[in-house]
Structure 1
């Protein structure tokens, strides 16, 4: 039932009808299972320690917005960057785009750099000694987080550096795409603050699937 909920994003009423249980029972079963799965998702420190142990040459940091069902009056949830309401999640990925860690949720109005600092990501990444590639939203995070050069009419060496940066950072989008391939995260119609739990539960399932191959 929980897999159907996460994969297809069906409502509790639809799931209850399909599995011959009440809507309330479907809600309880799913939320309890999601909480258990989320609790098994990698913690930030453990995920970064494994990245160092595995000899990863660098890491990818990005933010993603999980859209939510909100009205214009709910300004704290509105992301100016994405121009829609949602919850901000921070994602750390390996160079090949494999998801290593996903944060809890913050309101969409919180900028990516602020979110990374709130979750202690900037400090934790610095402690690994690994270079980190991120987009312009993270400029000013520190020398260990490499972002593209800003400004117009950049000299050719900076343009070349930005192109190389984009090529290396491109696979990071795969981590976000992996999360969004589960329909429940395409647009939440439950409590917005469940976004992090749902993302962590999905991460746990992805890790189990990878381990079983």
Structure 2
């Protein structure tokens, strides 16, 4: 992360987080923006307009990746809708627990929770 205000705008906000996840070897799912972020950051295959379409294997890898990311993104979007996330303290453990709880509540509402 940026250490001074003079270069704060030139550093992506997730830089420190990506470095920490890579150093810890944590497997993380990210979108195509983070293609070269590191070995532990899993990104989908990226299609290009001027290149051949993605292979069947590449599409089969992208599908579960999208499903996993969609669950997390839905939980975060619900937290924003409920206006819960801006009130979080700076403790990531609590944020993770809250996002998990939101996801469970959403699955119960949709009738897909098995618990």
State the TM-score, normalizing by the size of structure 1: 0.33
Note the residue ranges of structure 2 that are not aligned, 5 or more in a row: 1-8, 102-115
> How many corresponding residue pairs?
84
Counterparts of 1:28-67 in structure 2 under 5 Å?
A: none
Report if the CA contact (8 A) 1:179-1:202 is conserved: no
The SS at the match of 2:88 is: helix
Q: Deviations over 1:83-121 (max 9, x none)?
A: xxxxxxxxxxxxxxxxxxxxxxxxxxx79x92211xx10
Task: Return the structure number with greater strand share.
Answer: 1
The alpha-carbon distance between structure 1 residues 202 and 180, as it changes in their structure 2 partners (threshold 3 A), is farther
Q: Would you say 1:171 and 2:59 are equivalent positions?
A: no
Note the residue ranges of structure 1 that are not aligned, 5 or more in a row: 1-109, 186-197
The alpha-carbon distance between structure 1 residues 150 and 199, as it changes in their structure 2 partners (threshold 3 A), is farther
C-alpha distance in structure 2 between counterparts of 1:202 and 1:177, whole Å: 19
Instruction: Give the match for residue 127 of structure 1.
Output: 23
Please report how far the alpha carbon of residue 182 of structure 1 lies from its aligned counterpart in structure 2 after TM superposition: 2.6
Q: Deviations over 1:51-74 (max 9, x none)?
A: xxxxxxxxxxxxxxxxxxxxxxxx
Query: For the aligned residues, what is the CA RMSD?
Result: 3.2
Instruction: Give the match for residue 155 of structure 1.
Output: 55
Report if the CA contact (8 A) 1:179-1:199 is conserved: no
The SS at the match of 2:13 is: helix
The alpha-carbon distance between structure 1 residues 199 and 181, as it changes in their structure 2 partners (threshold 3 A), is same
Please report how far the alpha carbon of residue 122 of structure 1 lies from its aligned counterpart in structure 2 after TM superposition: 0.8
Query: Which structure ranks higher in relative contact order (CA pairs < 8 Å, sequence separation ≥ 6)?
Result: 1
Give 1 or 2 for the bigger CA radius of gyration. 1
Runs (4+) off by over 2 Å: 181-185, 198-207
C-alpha distance in structure 2 between counterparts of 1:154 and 1:168, whole Å: 20
C-alpha distance in structure 1 between counterparts of 2:90 and 2:83, whole Å: 11
